[in-house]
Amino acid sequence: MASPVWMLLPLLLLLGSLAGHRLWKKQVYPSHKGIGEACRMDEECQSKCCTTGSLDPSKQCSPRTILLRCLPWRKPIGHSCSHSSECQSRCCVRSNRSRQKFCTPLTIFLQCLPWRKPDGDFCGSHRECKSQCCIQLRDDSPHRCILRSGILAQCLPLLSLRGRLSFVEGATATRPGPQP
């Protein structure tokens, strides 16, 4: 029959190795911080992920994603932004006439479309208009955004061959009658 000391030996070795492991762990990782604690660099965190967690610019240790990526916090839709990388939607554009940009949702086709001027507004290029059509209605008038027209929805002026159509505010045109 085996003595009780020989039976306890494997158990004592196991406990000794676990105790040694805990001491080693405390010595190697004394400064690693847990999730939610303030940090400056990724190396300070157990997760190796130090990012901003809200609009507050201070950084905190945060968990990694399922794919083990360390993603920074991004602003939700409606918050002001200066670059698309700041937004959850990855879309930072003007939403009205002001120069201020906001985080906006992507389209159903995952496009980030900028705000454009409505029909009738003054413009300098086709890109500024919602209709993508910026033309000069008369030789002496400024360029304006107008609705595309024709069967192929082209950017055509509202002028007849003789140039006798008149533009009335609100983007409506009248046709001239027969000339005497």
Phi, psi of 131 (to 5 degrees): -80, -5
pLDDT at residue 103 in the model: 93
Digit-coded pLDDT (tens) for 121-162: 899 988 888 888 998 888 888 999 988 876 767 777 655 434
- For the entire predicted model, the pTM comes to 0.49
Give me the residues paired with residue 87 across strands.
75
Question: Is 94:101 a contact under the CB 8 Å cutoff?
Answer: yes
- pLDDT in the model for residue 5: 56
Kindly report the average pLDDT of the chain as a whole number.
75
pLDDT at 177 over 70: no
Q: pLDDT-derived band of residue 23, with 50, 70 and 90 as boundaries?
A: very low
Is residue 14 predicted with pLDDT exceeding 70?
Answer: no
